[in-house]
A and B are shown apart, each in its own frame.
Chain A
């Protein structure tokens, strides 16, 4: 592909940055080695959010994680929004830029959720075209994240893992593997999470996400897990992480906690658990 910046996050634990943790992080972030921000929260013109980033970026590598580009959208990408992402990336010079395999904007309405798309030859082309546009505009290789799914589409005729492999092959993008999303989707749609990892194009993984989810049931009593990022990572997801790391070796690991955000010590404990998983992987390798 073209001469673009490649992701350079360290193979260490990172956390999703929240403003209320600024002082804790500046004082002692151990074992956290990098921070991730949601791009859209830093698209103001100035003030405290950007001042905090300026200070933190002197000490930590950053991952800029977009939640609103609507890469899976039927319509064209929002050029204004892509320009805002470029402004942020040019200013912060993050170690990674990532976005979601999802859509959120249609007919100019932004729906503030990561909505699902069917997996077909037509949607592979649409997503790959959009990723080409993102990478050439930003001058960076991006990572594409697998979604949490609650339902399937009648028209889908390929697996999510084949879809991601095809998009990565066509665009040269890397992949952000969210193992909580794998666990949520596998439970909701009735397949094996380990089987998903076995089928996943692991050679493209540039970052792994971990987060908490909520438990519910559908109208038939079947389990329905909801991706909430509002609690500790559960043991089966840690086990799925170990299963994955045994195949990939150490990777940058992110703890996501976006609602009911706890105090820093709780988040640091989760990061320590991620750090132990990385250490065990390195010893085994």
Chain B
């Protein structure tokens, strides 16, 4: 009697299916509890990987909800790579379509931020430009300057107070009512989360997309002040080169 890996895998991920016919206890009887060891290892290890990846989502929904949700997620989206540090890439989209989570509409954005933090943590190292690098350029060239960003930099757009929600659940504090996109940077080894205005996020996203400064500024509106955004990016070591 042959047990294929398709048989084994199907039974592993479906708690209601019987074990494959060809697995045996030492006395030759079909294994049940022994097969459950593997079933349990898979479900528990993937659930724990998701708990590690999404601590703030877990805090927002509670342990029991998170575990039940993880059980649905891991069967719909088992890992597709042995590199488990990035397991959970589909979580934002999954949560957006997950009925029981609809009462917490900002959960997908929080999951996206937590994914960005993991990617930032493992991103390639990069040396930042000097804090006065922009000041070294001739003023008439500034509109044409393009910025290169460190691989660890991410922007998470959000119409919710994403930054305050994240901060309140990691450091304490109150939520605001504003839209607060989040900027993720990694000055050395530890990713940082900072708040951006929607206008700053639009300008920064344009710069990250390779638009020259003069063109990117138009995404910020008529009264946009570049100073605070630029100061933040330089302080966080987010910019790695300037090109004119």
Contacts and interface: CB of A to CB of B under 8 A. Distances in A.
Given A45-B124, A113-B38, A106 B81 contact: no
B9 A218 contact: no
A190 B82 contact: no
Contact of B123 (A44, A74, A107): A44
Given A45-B124, A47-B122, A224-B33, A105 B82 contact: yes
B101 interface: no
A219 B121 contact: no
A112 B45 contact: yes
Interface in B170-193: 186, 189-190
Given A45-B122, A151-B23, A219-B33, A110 B81 contact: yes
B4 A153 contact: no
B123 A226 contact: no
Interface size class of B (residues with CB under 8 A): 35 or more
Contacts of B37: 150, 224, 226
Instruction: Decide if the interface of chain B is mainly helix, strand, loop or mixed.
Output: loop
Interface stretch (A1-9, A26-34, A65-73, A164-172): A65-73
A222 interface: yes
Interface size class of A (residues with CB under 8 A): 35 or more
Contacts of B90: none
A284 interface: no
A56 to B, nearest CB: 15
Interface of A: 40-41, 43-49, 51, 67-70, 73-74, 78, 80-81, 84, 103-113, 115-116, 118, 150-155, 188-190, 218-220, 222, 224, 226
25 contacts: A40-B83, A40-B84, A44-B121, A48-B121, A48-B190, A70-B82, A73-B5, A74-B4, A81-B82, A106-B5, A107-B6, A109-B78, A110-B78, A112-B41, A112-B42, A112-B45, A112-B84, A113-B41, A115-B12, A150-B35, A151-B31, A152-B24, A153-B23, A153-B24, A190-B26
Interface of B: 1-6, 8-9, 12-13, 21-27, 31-35, 37-38, 41-42, 45-46, 49, 78-85, 121-126, 151-152, 186, 189-190
